[in-house]
Structure 1
Amino acid sequence: MALEMRDRCERCESAVLPPDSPARICSHECTFCVPCSDAMHDVCPNCGGELVARPRRVPAPAAA
């Protein structure tokens, strides 16, 4: 099962989070920008879980 790569911070809703940008997620995939995560001391306000770096999705290499 693939991660749902949400494109907005759930706290400030103004931070756009493309798949290749830094973001923080919990085990339920709640998604936050780095400044909001830092302000919340890396604790998800929804479930109380730890917020960790979201893996970045990079584009596939072009076919040769």
Structure 2
Amino acid sequence: MLELRPNCECCDKDLPPESREAMICTFECTFCADCADGVLQGQCPNCGGEFSCRPVRPAAMLARYPASTKRILKAQGCMPVKAA
């Protein structure tokens, strides 16, 4: 089950469970669409993977399976992955 992390790791923008702006990689690194597309150019700085839109958990299921409250923020800021 997805953690539904509460913020963008790059700019710390709030990304509530119902947000359509949340983008995740295969490891659930979470970024807002602006950072994922703009700053990171579609590539996760942590694993090098691509981003997909994070699915929205139905509100009725949030009570039973709540979203994470742990905020993750890259202390050094976000830099795009350099091409090999």
TM-score range, shorter chain: 0.7 to 0.9
Name 1:18's counterpart in structure 2.
16
Q: Extract unaligned runs of 5+ from structure 1.
A: none
Name the aligned partner's letter for residue 14 of structure 2: V
- Distance of 1:45 and 1:52 partners within structure 2: 14
Runs ≥4 in structure 1, deviation > 2 angstroms? none
2: CA distance, partners of 1:58 / 1:32: 20
Name the aligned partner's letter for residue 44 of structure 1. Answer: C
1:10-44 superposed Cα distances (whole Å, 9 cap, x missing partner): 0111x100011021000000000010011112110
CA-CA distance at 1:57 after TM superposition: 1.3
CA-atom RMSD, angstroms? 1.3
Match for residue 32 of structure 1? 31
Tell whether 2:55 aligns with 1:55. yes
More relative contact order, 1 or 2 (CA 8 Å, 6+ apart): 2
Number of positions where the alignment pairs a residue of Structure 1 with one of Structure 2:
59
Contact residue 42 and residue 52 of structure 1 kept, 8 A: no
Q: Gaps spanning 5+ residues in structure 2: where?
A: 62-84
CA distance, structure 2, for counterparts of residue 41 and residue 57 of structure 1: 26
The amino acid that maps onto 2:11 is: C
